[in-house]
Structure 1
Amino acid sequence: MSTRPVLRVRKSGAVLVAALIALVSAVPLAGAAWVLTPILLIPLAVLLWAWRAGTDVYADELRVRALFGGSRVPWSRITELAPDQRGRVSALLDNGNVIRLTGVNRDNLPLVLAASGHPIAGSAGAGR
């Protein structure tokens, strides 16, 4: 197993900036009354999700990370990578399960495939 990912794919940095702005903007509202303090949890959760969530490509596996937890999928179990109508990419596994690859879209799918070094049949033109 590799120790460093070949490629890291994350959501747009704009989501991170927007969550940070929302957190700073919520501080005066939360400071008005202690009852409103939990309002800070919403932009904080979005900020942590935008920072953490994504897909890490290793030579031998994919790691899909979410706000809490994640999944490790060996390349040998992936039969197809295919974008949906909105351009989000999912991995079809050999047991029929589907895992959505956070941060991976139709535009950066060729980068993921190139970084993996593993050809996946049926992924190049799917969904176009």
Structure 2
Amino acid sequence: MRFRYSGAIMVAVVFAAFGALPFALSSWWLAPVLLVPAAIGLWAGRAGVDAAPEGLTVRGAVGSRRLDWSEIDGFEAVGKKVAVLLPSGATLPLPAVRPTDVPRLVAAGGRVLGGEADTLGS
């Protein structure tokens, strides 16, 4: 199962790029303005979480991290965001995952929510 940000972000990126184009073409030193919508588009298209029976893959704009289910102590909800609790006590934010998505996330891994390792703290 894949969790990604809304496709509406990409529509906004296209509008921002078209809006920045005349400004960026007005002078050569303003051309890097086009990098802003490009960077946001890269992030929006790539960031998210892939859940599989083997574990989670957390993807950022340029990197990713693979976690086996055995490496996950639980989940923590902070506002509208969710983070994974690691055995070291550290947390890893899950992009594009909302607290209401946690049961689906855990079910995609073939696990049952409610065990000690699958708790959602607040």
Q: Same fold (TM over 0.5)?
A: yes
**CA separation in 2, counterparts of 1:77 and 1:97?**
11
How many residue pairs are counted as aligned between the two chains? Answer: 119
CA distance in 2, matches of 1:114, 1:78: 14
**Which amino acid in 2 is paired with 1:106?**
P
1:54-105 CA distance string (max 9 Å, x none): 0011111100001111111110010111211x22010001122211111111
1:47 equivalent in structure 2: 41
Q: Does 1:118 align with 2:111?
A: yes
Inter-partner Cα distance in structure 2 for 1:66 and 1:20 = 20
Say whether 1:22 aligns with 2:25: no
Q: Which residue of 1 aligns with 2:100?
A: 107
Q: Which runs of 5+ in 1 are unaligned?
A: 1-6
Q: Percent identity?
A: 36
More helix by share: 2
TM-score, normalised by the number of residues in structure 2: 0.90
> Given that residues 80 and 123 in structure 1 are in contact (C-alpha distance below 8 angstroms), is that contact kept between their aligned partners in structure 2?
yes
Q: Distance in 2 between matches of 1:24 and 1:75?
A: 43
Q: How high is the TM-score relative to the length of structure 1? A: 0.86
Calculate the aligned-residue CA RMSD, in Å: 1.4
